[in-house]
Chain A
Amino acid sequence: MKVQDIMSRNVQTIKPTSSLRAAARTFSDLNVGALPVVDDGKLVGIITDRDVSVYAIAIGREPQSTDVKVVMSKEVFTCNADQSLAEAAEIMEQHNIRRLAVVNGSDEVVGILTVDDIARVSHELAGGVLEAAIAIH
């Protein structure tokens, strides 16, 4: 089975110059925990619900006047839509993460793959990802 068979498509993205408050509203409205950050059609980062709250507050930033680019992760781990699920799970395990941005050859975001998606088709692969993930209790 391939990434494209189970990934979320039509993923909402956000701009690096959007405010943290706008990002937080998107997380809340769409019931998601992460958004790819896209500039000029290209993936430049990823931002999570934790980045806009815990991290931003901890470094003393005001959500209204702080841009997404200040708190986003610039190192984004990706996979391609035609990779196998086992390969994608391996990338997650290696980097101790639970989500990958799915990109095409031009660095455009075509989807998101989470460990939850993997759990729907393979308990074994998803369990391995969770075991390797950095625990946040």
Chain B
Amino acid sequence: MKVKDLMTTQVEHITPTTTTKEAAHIMHDQHLGVLPVIEDNKLVGMITDRDICCKVVATGHSAGFTKVEEVMSKNVATCFDDQNIGDATKLMIDHHVRRLAVIDHNNAVVGLLSVDDLARNSHDMASSVLEASTQAH
């Protein structure tokens, strides 16, 4: 089984200079927890609902005046769409993450792979990712 067989292909994305307020609106309207951040067709980061919680709301900054690039993660864990699901699972475990941005060999973002997607294929793989998680609850 390959990553492209399980990934979500409808991927909304956002630019680094968009405000986190706009990012929150997109996440709410599209029911998303993460947005790949793209500049000049290249993946430059990822922003999550938790980034907006911990780096904007918690610090007292205004979401309307805080740009995505100020709070996004720049070290993004990625995998290729033609990689095996087992490799992708290992990447999630090693990086303690529950989602990977999926890229093709031209470095274009073509999907997202989450631990929920893994669960549809293998309860064992998905649970191994949860076990490696570092969040308390």
By a beta-carbon cutoff of 8 Å, the part of chain A in contact with chain B is 8, 11, 20-21, 24-25, 27-28, 30-34, 49-50, 52-58, 63-64, 99, 112, 114-117, 119-120, 122-124, 126-128, 130-131, 133, 135-137
Contacts and interface: CB of A to CB of B under 8 A. Distances in A.
Given A54-B24, A58-B24, A130-B126, A11 B54 contact: no
A64 B32 contact: no
Interface of B: 8, 20-21, 24-25, 27-29, 31-34, 49-50, 52-54, 56-58, 60, 63, 99, 112, 114-120, 122-124, 126-128, 130-131, 133-137
Contacts of B136: 8, 30-32
Nearest to A35: B137
Nearest to B12: A137
Nearest to B129: A119
B112 A137 contact: yes
A54 B27 contact: yes
Given A21-B58, A28-B58, A54-B27, A123 B53 contact: no
From DSSP, what is the main secondary structure of chain B's interface residues? helix
Given A21-B57, A116-B137, A53 B24 contact: yes
Given A31-B136, A54-B27, A112-B137, A128 B34 contact: no
B37 to A, nearest CB: 15
A123 B128 contact: yes
Nearest to B35: A137
Contact of B52 (A8, A53, A114): A53
B25 A53 contact: no
Contacts of B130: 115-116, 119, 126, 130
A137 B13 CA distance: 12
A105 to B, nearest CB: 22
Nearest to B28: A58
Contacts of A54: 24, 27-28, 49, 52
Given A28-B58, A49-B53, A50-B49, A57 B115 contact: no
Nearest to B27: A54
A112 B115 CA distance: 21
B131 A24 contact: no
Contacts of B114: 135, 137
